[in-house]
Amino acid sequence: MTQVTMTVNGKAAKGEVEGRTLLVQFLRETLELTGTHVGCDTSQCGACVVHVNGEAVKSCTMLAVEAQDAQIDTIEGQAALDGTLNTLQQAFQDHHGLQCGYCTPGMVMSAAALLKENPKPTEADVRHYLDGNICRCTGYHNIVKAILAASGQDVSAIAAE
Amino acid sequence: MPKDGGIGASPKRREDIRFLTGTGNYTDDMNLRGQVYVHFLRSDMAHARINGIDTATAEAMPGVLKIYTGKDFETAGSIPCGWQVTDRFGEVMKEPRHPVLAEGKVRHVGDPICAIVAESREQARDAAEAIELDLEELPAVVDMRKALEDGSTKVHDDLSDNLCFDWGFVEENKEAVDAAIKSAAHVTTIELINNRLVPNAMEPRVAIGDYNRASGDSTLYTTSQNPHVIRLLMGAFVLNIPEHKLRVVAPDVGGGFGSKIYHYAEEAFCTYAARDLNRPVKWTCTRSEAFLSDAQARDHVTKIELALDKDNNFTAVRTSTLANMGAYLSTFAPSIPTWLHGTLMAGNYKTPLVYVNVRAVFTNTIPVDAYRGAGRPEATYQLERVIDKAARELGVDPFVLRRQNFVTEFPYQTPVAVEYDSGDFNKLVDKLERKADFKGFAARRSASEAKGMLRGLGVNCFIEACGIAPSNLVGQLGARAGLYESATVRVNATGGIVVMTGSHSHGQGHETVFPQVVADMIGIDPSMIEIVHGDTANTPMGMGTYGSRSIAVGGSAMVRATEKIIAKARKIASHLLEASESDIELKDGAFTVAGTDKSVAWGEVTLAAYVPHNYPLESLEPGLEETAFYDPNNFTYPSGAYACEVELDPETGRVTIEKFTTADDFGIVVNPMIVDGQVHGGLTQGIGQALLENCLYDENGQLVSASYMDYAMPRAADVPFFTVDHTDGTPCTHNPLGVKGCGEAGAIGAPPTVVNAVIDAIQSGGYNVDHVDMPVTPHRVWEAMHG
């Protein structure tokens, strides 16, 4: 077992892990931050996306020991302390960008990384960027719409019905 | 009632807050004190005899508590099938035993052989690798036609052959249909495959068994769409645990699409082992394991013939289908290609004669069962493909041919048992032609062609049957369950309400939508109403959520229970207001004496019910809590008309969806925002089936498409923004809300729409191609055009 220490959502965190322990296991099982989900085992679905030192990373694809001393941000750290949703989270609710909620944490974290890189993405930019995030419920329509809205763009012309 | 929260409004979803902040409670998020972990050692062969299992080394490995094999479950029941089909000759279907762990033989890749329970997941997995299996590989039966040949290897040695049943519907029509086809002016025939799919809810299945030695009670936490059904099937048929000693909890569930309806072996194992070991036992399925253990879907091979008279009126439809059951019968497998498929073969049309033949076949593949649409996508796809082909053969506009044959008067008794209560198919087509801008298509096609691309427009009309019912009818058809739904409405002393529903939400938004209905009925704010679901300990016996039944059946139960609440509250109000009950009106959450300004608020009435000081105790019990069980007297019949435009690159065969427009009739819509979302999701699953998804086995029964690297799930760039419309529907005539259900429409309507568009595009390029099987991959398209 190896001791790892990192900063998770601004707080110091540490724990004992095996060499094979994945970052997502460490988050879910050791730190009990169960908002980050596991939807596959081939790094395809993106339900486990977190930010490592500000970059979107699939936490099923990184060992916990590799995150030694890293700054980790997860879905649990996105809303304000009083519970107020951030702009992206609020856009997902406003535009019904989630149904079962399972892919949602990864979607929100990926979208946050996109908007950091590209604050005014086109529809095609958003769809392309989400290539590594699979949603089975929404058909992506309202996810893409929510992300465009969160970037400050007018989505009223996008047909809802 | 403020319209912003009642029926027809689109309030934001209350469940979103926990899902957006990482505070949902999915089964894998739960951990019980003292919990241990199970890993299933599964067969890597499709068909083999188990000659030996040596667990000695594995049992001695660190952390291992116990290793179970089929022998441990020999006295347990078979994983049950919930529907018994009777064949054309009056014989019941073959129903082989489905053990919790394999007994003597394995029959599909992924069939569980051993269950290793250890202190940690990793220890269980490590120990599994130390088990020595002596498997003698047998020839695998994968292809359905070969499985039916004389002398084929049998999936089940104790059965006479691999034919589960040979079903004919309506058998009495067979000769008349044959005669009508023989004498028809024109017959269009198409042979097609409805490709096998993997439902792939994003949350893999999880089960945690728990046992309380003090009380002798077992609890199962599981990823289920219907916890009461699991309690009944597992308790009564597999483990022999009476329902009052068994609780099943399905907390937040990350999508189902049918795959979480069924009772699975892993649930029974965890419940059994928790009692055996007196420790909670947890199983978390990996995605790779899900591909090998979740029920799969569709997999029909069909020939359909459509007969027309000289004026292009449909005179008969005859179909012949092979339906793959896989190696064992999953919970509702036999109902899918029969009653949920044959009864829809009239479609939206007045065809007077229909005959459907389905032969269900056992193969060495993973069991097949319902997936979004369940039988109705298979029916719609073949019917709408053959109509489209007929229109092309006859040189008539596909909508003109459809309109000419539409059912236009309701109720309409079809020749395939069901009676449509309502609909207006011409109105849907009118709306679609406008919304999809058919007039502009020629210009859009020219623009595509100027880029060297082909452009196609495909259309499709469909009707489906939701809210399967009534119980006594489905019982006659072979269902071993009732199909009612339940609700308990508990009004608290200070006026707040808890609705305990037998429906289950795993993405549908019941926690937001159901309060809209109750709020509308009473005239209070929806925030005063909370929905409880998913726990057999605190909800009345219910059948759960599938088949687009929640609002139509579960919602109706809730309406009936709320009506009882209002009736009793009215009596209390009449006492408090010292007025005749018939003079009491309920409006905006207050009871008023008609024609006066005398009134009592909702909260005053509810308080009186629980603090019955001024109360008619001699004639009325205290309290305000009512339960209703609602058993519908017919299915509901949502219908739709869809249009798709594709662009096709003739150089590569690649197809892209450029435009997708829907006109749906869902009857009354409670929450338009959520209905939009249901349609978007269904469409994308249907487009996935049409263009991308294929569950493929090789000839040895190995699953080739066994991960997201190989099974092509639709991604964000595979679909466009959709234009969907569900306004101005025709209300269902037989349920109190007039609702029809919307969960499956997209997945039913999309596949033929897309394929019809692809054929239109191909033919517009001058190629003589009249069919390409799904998924319509670039390779298949290119081969059809140039091969």
- What is the b/e burial string over B602-617, where b = at least 16 CB atoms within 10 angstroms of the residue's CB? bbbbbbbbeebeebee
Whether residue B382 lies inside any domain: the answer is yes
pLDDT (mean) for B448-467: 97
Question: Final residue of a domain: which of B234, B253, B284?
Answer: B284
Whether residues B581 and B619 share a domain: the answer is yes
DSSP for B141-167 reads --SHHHHTSTTPPPSSTTSSSSEEEEE
Number of domains in chain B: 4
Mean pLDDT in residue range B243-248: 98
Mean pLDDT computed over every residue of chain B: 97
The residue among B478, B516, B190, B486 whose CA lies nearest residue B340 is: B478
Which tens digits make up the pLDDT trace of A89-124?
Answer: 999 999 999 999 999 999 999 999 999 999 999 999
What's B220's domain CATH number? 3.90.1170.50
Provide the pLDDT for residue A159.
59
Q: Is residue B109 part of a domain?
A: yes
Task: Note the pLDDT of residue B5.
Answer: 87
Residue B76 and residue B98 share a domain = yes
> Which residue is it, tokens 């995150």?
A67
Average pLDDT over residues B271-279: 98
B651 and B611 share one domain: no
pLDDT at residue B787, as a whole number: 83
Does residue B468 belong to any structural domain of this protein?
A: no
> pLDDT by residue (tens digit) across B222-239?
999 999 999 999 999 999
- B177 within 8 A of B353, measured Cβ to Cβ: yes
Query: Quick one: B706 and B775 in the same domain?
Result: yes
Residue B498 shares a structural domain with residue B368? no
Closest CA to B96 of B113, B78, B74, B71: B78
The two tokens of residue B82 are: 């919930």
Kindly identify which residue of chain A lies nearest to residue B724, measuring between CA atoms.
Answer: A161
Q: B743 exposed, middle or buried (CB, 10 Å; 0-12, 13-18, 19+)?
A: buried
Q: Do A96 and B253 touch (CB under 8 A)?
A: no
Q: Do B186 and B249 belong together in one domain?
A: no
Contact B687, B714 (CB under 8 A): yes
Contact B20 A92 (CB under 8 A): yes
Number of neighbours of residue B4 by Cβ within 10 angstroms: 12
Do residues B522 and B649 share a domain?
no
The answer as to whether B412 is a domain residue is no
Predicted-complex ipTM score: 0.98
Q: Final residue of a domain: which of B379, B398, B417?
A: B398
Instruction: List the single residue in B24, B721, B727 with the smallest CB-CB distance to A158.
Output: B721
- Which residues are registered as beta bridge partners of A5? A14
Strand-pairing partners, residue B208, are: B221, B282
Query: What superfamily in CATH does domain A87-150 come from?
Result: [2Fe-2S]-binding domain (1.10.150.120)
Single-letter amino acid code for the residue at A5: T
Residues B359-375 have pLDDT tens digits of 999 999 999 999 999 99
Partners of residue B721 in chain A, C-beta under 8 Å: 123, 141, 144-145, 158-159
Contact between chains at B721 and A100 (C-beta distance less than 8 A):
no
Domain shared by B545 and B603, yes or no: yes
Q: Do B20 and A74 touch (CB under 8 A)?
A: no
- Neighbouring-strand partners of residue B67: B116
Residue ranges making up the domain that contains B526: 484-630
SS3 content of chain A, % helix, strand, coil (to 5): 35, 15, 50
The answer to whether residues B653 and B755 belong to one domain is: yes
pLDDT value of position B336: 97
Q: Which residues pair with B358 in a beta bridge?
A: B167, B321
Q: Are B85 and B172 in contact (CB under 8 A)?
A: no
Q: Is residue B403 part of a domain?
A: no
> Cβ–Cβ of A89/B21 closer than 8 Å?
yes
**CA separation, residue B370 to residues B113, B348, B677 (Å):** 25, 23, 21
Is B649 among the domain residues?
Answer: yes
Q: Would residue B200 count as lying in a domain?
A: no
Q: Which residue of A has its CA nearest to B251?
A: A100
Task: Give strand ranges (E) for B383-515.
Answer: 412-413, 419-420, 454-463, 485-491, 497-501
The amino acid present at B50, given as its one-letter code, is I
With vertex at residue A84, the alpha carbon angle to CA A78 and CA A85, rounded to the nearest 5 degrees, is 50
Residue B2: pLDDT band (50, 70, 90) is very low
Residue A78 has pLDDT above 70, yes or no: yes
Residue whose C-alpha is closest to residue B155's, from B116, B97, B212, B73: B97
One domain, residues B123 and B231: yes
Q: Does B26 touch chain A (CB under 8 A)?
A: yes
* Domain boundaries defined on chain A: 2-76, 87-150
Write the pLDDT tens digit of every residue in B657-669: 999 999 999 999 9
Q: Are residues B341 and B381 in the same domain?
A: yes
Same structural domain, B532 and B605: yes
* Residue at a domain's end among B227, B253, B284: B284
Cβ contact, residue pair A134, B672, below 8 Å: no
Q: What is the pLDDT of residues B291-303, one digit of tens each?
A: 999 999 999 999 9
Q: Does B257 touch chain A (CB under 8 A)?
A: yes
Which architecture, in CATH terms, is A2-76? Answer: Roll (3.10)
| B203/A133 CB distance under 8 A | no
Asked if the structure places residue B26 within a domain, the reply is no
Q: For B129-149, what is the mean pLDDT?
A: 98
CATH number at residue B386: 3.30.365.10
Contact list, A139 vs chain B (CB under 8 Å): 677, 680-685, 714, 719, 722, 746
